[in-house]
Amino acid sequence: GNSVTQMEGPVTLSEEAFLTINCTYTATGYPSLFWYVQYPGEGLQLLLKATKADDKGSNKGFEATYRKETTSFHLEKGSVQVSDSAVYFCALYGGATNKLIFGTGTLLAVQP
Amino acid sequence: EAGVTQSPTHLIKTRGQQATLRCSPISGHTSVYWYQQALGLGLQFLLWYDEGEERNRGNFPPRFSGRQFPNYSSELNVNALELEDSALYLCASSLVGTQKNIQYFGAGTRLSVL
C-alpha cells in the first residue's frame, strides 16, 4: 500500500542555517505530494504541494521537488528562522480513497 | 474568508461516555474529512464525507461514527470512550473537482478521556 517515510527528528538548527527534511514515498501511479506544518498548539497548515513529476512546490522560502526516479519530496529552506520552529509533515494523496497519508512528522527547533 | 472551524477546542470526558465533535468547512467545500492525531501514532485517517454521504472510512472501530449535514458541516461521534481515544481530532475540508485533493485543516479538538 501507499506510505510515506520521513526522517526522524528532532532537527535542531541555528538561525540562518540550511534546512533539509527528507521524505520518501511508496505509491502506485503518480500521487500528489504535500508538506504540511503544525505550529505549537495549532492544526495543520498547507505549506506547499506538487502534483506531478519534476514539479517544484514553494512557499515562504521553503521548496520541495517531486522526484519520481527517487520517489522523494525533500523539504528545503536556505535560511531558517526561529519562527519556523514547528512539526513538518510530508503527505501523499491517496487517490480514489481521497485520504491523505502522512509521514510521522519531523520536529524542527531553530535556536537564535 | 473563514477557514475550517472546529468546536469545542477542548473536551474532557470519562471512560464509557460519548463525545461529539463538530466541524464547519470552508464555504463552498463539500467534502469533510476527520483525522486522529494520537501521541506516538501520528496522523490517521478516520472518515470522509461528501454530499452528505460517508465515502471512505479508516481502520477504526464502529464506535467512531459521524454524519454530514445539508449545510456540509459535520459531526464526529465517539461512543463508549476508551483511554486510548485521547487525541487531537482534526477536521479538514476540500472542494470537489480538480482541486479535490487539497485539504485544508482546522485547529482541532483535543479530547481527553479520564
Per-residue pLDDT of chain B (114 residues; tens, 9 = 90+): 679 999 999 999 999 999 999 999 999 999 999 999 998 778 999 999 999 999 999 999 999 999 999 999 999 999 999 999 999 999 999 987 555 678 999 999 999 999
Residue A104 forms contact with B (CB below 8 Å): yes
Instruction: Residue B99: list chain A partners with CB under 8 A.
Output: none
Taking an 8 Å cut-off on Cβ atoms, the answer to whether B102 and A97 are in contact is no
How confident is the model at residue B98, as a pLDDT? 58
Residue B98 forms contact with A (CB below 8 Å): no
Instruction: Residue A43: list chain B partners with CB under 8 A.
Output: 4, 6, 90, 105-108
Beta strands per DSSP E along B5-114: 5-7, 10-13, 19-24, 31-38, 42-50, 53-57, 64-68, 74-78, 87-94, 104-105, 109-113
Mean pLDDT of A83-88: 96
How confident is the model at residue B100, as a pLDDT? 62
Mean pLDDT of A46-61: 95
Residue A47 forms contact with B (CB below 8 Å): no
Structure-model confidence comparison of residues B94 and A41, the more confident one: B94
Residue A107 forms contact with B (CB below 8 Å): no
How confident is the model at residue B45, as a pLDDT? 94
How confident is the model at residue B97, as a pLDDT? 56
Q: How far is A8 from chain B (nearest CA, A)?
A: 13
3-state SS class at B10? strand
Mean pLDDT of A33-62: 94
Model confidence at A6, pLDDT cuts 50, 70, 90, reads: very high
| β-pair type (B31-38, B87-94) | antiparallel
Which three three-digit cell numbers place residue B25? 468547512
Q: How far is A47 from chain B (nearest CA, A)?
A: 11
Model confidence at A42, pLDDT cuts 50, 70, 90, reads: confident
Which three three-digit cell numbers place residue A64? 520541495
Q: Choose the mutation target among B91, B103, B104 for the interface with A, i.e. most A CBs under 10 Å.
A: B103
Mean pLDDT of A34-60: 93
Contact B2, B10 (CB under 8 A): no
